[in-house]
């Protein structure tokens, strides 16, 4: 056992409206009221710096089995075998000194308790289980008649890991938009140097599924664009290969890679960033998804500092569409050419709106001849909320209309 890998197990008896459950060094668990357990953890980030993370969970009536795991990259709080909360540390926890509170066992870290992958039968306004748990950016993808939805699992409204977000890719899928199958986390945080697994895109290519995303750094260094790959679309493995943007782009903010295969036989990647102080989508190409060339011109350059987030791209009835979000609201431009000649503007802003200002960063995937967008609706101030769907239709002039899909009307 060390300060990075350990498990604490205890039992909280009925009664004791407020009580100290466990204390040892930098780890304190305390029961407040009859229904909440708080866990404060002081991290030794470096020899000179300490920072605190806090977790909380819901207690049931009567006796409660409590378990706290620290496995290096993750901290998890279980109550009665169910994951209640988690955080993502930097550094270790000092467990030296006397212990206090109820009787507890401290041992080498145990294997995590696997979450039940329960199917979802009513996804309207759905959110994941857990206090302060939300749906973040949505990244739909379709293949072989299955409409997959990867999405950022959010806790604390982007506040985890001291504001870095600590997002991970969750995964559900459907064949009829009524019944949804859930899967284990597709792309989890596995290292303390990963501040967040950011938004991206999935492509089926070279006989494999590729999830592309950026890893937010913990020290402000350039973001690393990378991929996780899978043979079955469920179990993904990180490649360990990274791309960083070069000048004139702002590499620390690079994120949200959208990867497609073009009619020219090359793979194209569009990356959210800035160029010369204005928002842009950098454009890279690759013949094989491994070696990438940064092109001299972005696929789009805005005339405002706000960056075009969460890009999407698709061909639809001979027209090409580029979708992105400014200030959280989805916008689109279209062209008769795949990578330039964009048109569409409203009130001096590049792009026409998709949906309304309540729908955050929509992205799309075809389902047969239908084009469905997924996004989230904030339920309170800040980041994260409930899943929302829109269906898109195409007007003769190339503009887009949206409506609620029949399955959710």
State pLDDT tens for residues 77-110.
Answer: 999 999 999 999 999 998 887 788 888 888 887 8
Q: How far apart are CA 73 and CA 187, in angstroms?
A: 13
What mean pLDDT comes out for the span 292-313?
Answer: 97
- SS3 state at 235: coil
Q: How high is the pLDDT of residue 116?
A: 66
Q: How far, in Å, are 72, 99, 157, 312 from residue 219 at the CA level?
A: 18, 34, 21, 28
Q: Does residue 35 surpass a pLDDT of 80?
A: yes
What mean pLDDT comes out for the span 167-182?
Answer: 96
Nearest to 339 by CA among 357, 322, 354: 322
Structural contact between residues 265 and 305, judged by C-beta atoms closer than 8 angstroms = no
Percentages helix, strand, coil for the chain (3-state, rounded to 5) are 0, 55, 45
Q: How high is the pLDDT of residue 173?
A: 97
Half-sphere exposure (Cβ direction) of 38: Cα atoms closer than 13 Å: 12
pLDDT confidence of 124, banded at 50, 70, 90?
A: confident
Domain spans in the chain, listed from the N-terminal domain onward: 5-107, 133-408
Q: How high is the pLDDT of residue 130?
A: 86
What mean pLDDT comes out for the span 62-88?
Answer: 94
CATH of 5-107, one of 3.40.50.720, 3.30.460.10, 3.30.465.10, 2.60.120.200: 2.60.120.200
- The more confident residue out of 115 and 5 is 5
Nearest to 35 by CA among 14, 21, 20: 14
pLDDT in tens, 183-204: 999 999 999 999 999 999 999 9
pLDDT in tens, 238-294: 999 999 999 999 999 999 999 999 999 999 999 999 999 999 999 999 999 999 999
Q: How high is the pLDDT of residue 213?
A: 98
How many other C-beta atoms lie within 10 A of the C-beta of residue 96?
8
pLDDT confidence of 47, banded at 50, 70, 90?
A: confident
Question: In whole numbers, what is the pLDDT of the chain averaged over residues?
Answer: 93
Q: Does residue 338 surpass a pLDDT of 80?
A: yes
133-408 carries CATH number 2.115.10.20 = yes
- The more confident residue out of 356 and 238 is 238
Q: Does residue 362 surpass a pLDDT of 80?
A: yes
pLDDT confidence of 314, banded at 50, 70, 90?
A: very high
- Owner of token pair 């992105």: 324
pLDDT confidence of 1, banded at 50, 70, 90?
A: low
Q: How far apart are CA 9 and CA 16, in angstroms?
A: 18
């Amino acid at each position: 056992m060390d300060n990075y890998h350990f498990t604490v197990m205890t039992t909280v008896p009925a009664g004791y409206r407020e009580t100290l459950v466990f204390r040892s060094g930098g780890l304190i668990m305390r029961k407040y009221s009859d229904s909440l357990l708080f866990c404060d953890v002081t991290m030794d980030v470096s020899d000179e710096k300490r920072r605190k993370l806090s977790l909380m969970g819901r207690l049931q009536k009567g006796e409660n089995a409590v378990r706290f795991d620290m496995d290096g990259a993750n901290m998890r709080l279980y109550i009665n075998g169910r994951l209640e909360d988690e955080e993502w540390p930097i550094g270790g926890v000092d467990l030296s000194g006397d212990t206090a509170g109820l009787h507890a066992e401290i041992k080498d870290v145990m294997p995590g308790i696997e979450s039940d992958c329960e199917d979802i039968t009513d996804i309207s306004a759905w959110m994941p289980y857990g206090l302060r748990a939300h749906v973040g950016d949505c990244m739909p993808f379709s293949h072989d008649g299955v409409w997959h939805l990867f999405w950022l699992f959010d806790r604390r409204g982007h506040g985890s890991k001291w504001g870095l977000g600590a997002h991970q890719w969750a995964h559900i899928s459907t064949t009829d938009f009524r019944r949804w199958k859930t899967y284990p986390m597709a792309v989890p945080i596995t290292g303390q140097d990963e501040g967040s697994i950011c938004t991206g895109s999935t492509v089926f290519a070279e006989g494999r599924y590729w999830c592309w995303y950026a890893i937010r750094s913990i020290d402000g260094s350039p973001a690393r664009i990378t991929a996780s790959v899978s043979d079955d679309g469920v179990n993904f493995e990180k490649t360990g290969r990274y791309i960083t943007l070069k000048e004139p782009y702002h590499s620390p903010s690079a994120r949200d890679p959208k990867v497609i295969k073009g009619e020219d036989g090359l793979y194209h990647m569009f990356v959210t960033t800035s160029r010369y102080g204005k928002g842009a989508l950098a454009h890279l190409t690759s013949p094989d998804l491994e070696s990438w060339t940064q092109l001299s011109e972005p696929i789009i350059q805005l005339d405002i500092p706000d960056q075009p987030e969460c890009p999407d791209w698709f061909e639809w009835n001979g027209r090409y569409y580029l979708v992105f979000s400014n200030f959280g609201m989805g916008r689109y431009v279209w062209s008769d050419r795949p990578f330039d000649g964009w048109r569409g503007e409203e009130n001096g802003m590049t792009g026409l709106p998709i949906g309304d200002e309540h729908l955050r960063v929509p992205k799309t995937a075809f389902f047969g001849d239908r084009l469905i967008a997924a996004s989230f609706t904030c339920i309170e101030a800040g980041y994260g909320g409930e899943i929302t769907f829109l269906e898109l239709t195409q007007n003769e002039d190339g503009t887009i209309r949206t409506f609620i899909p029949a399955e959710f009307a």
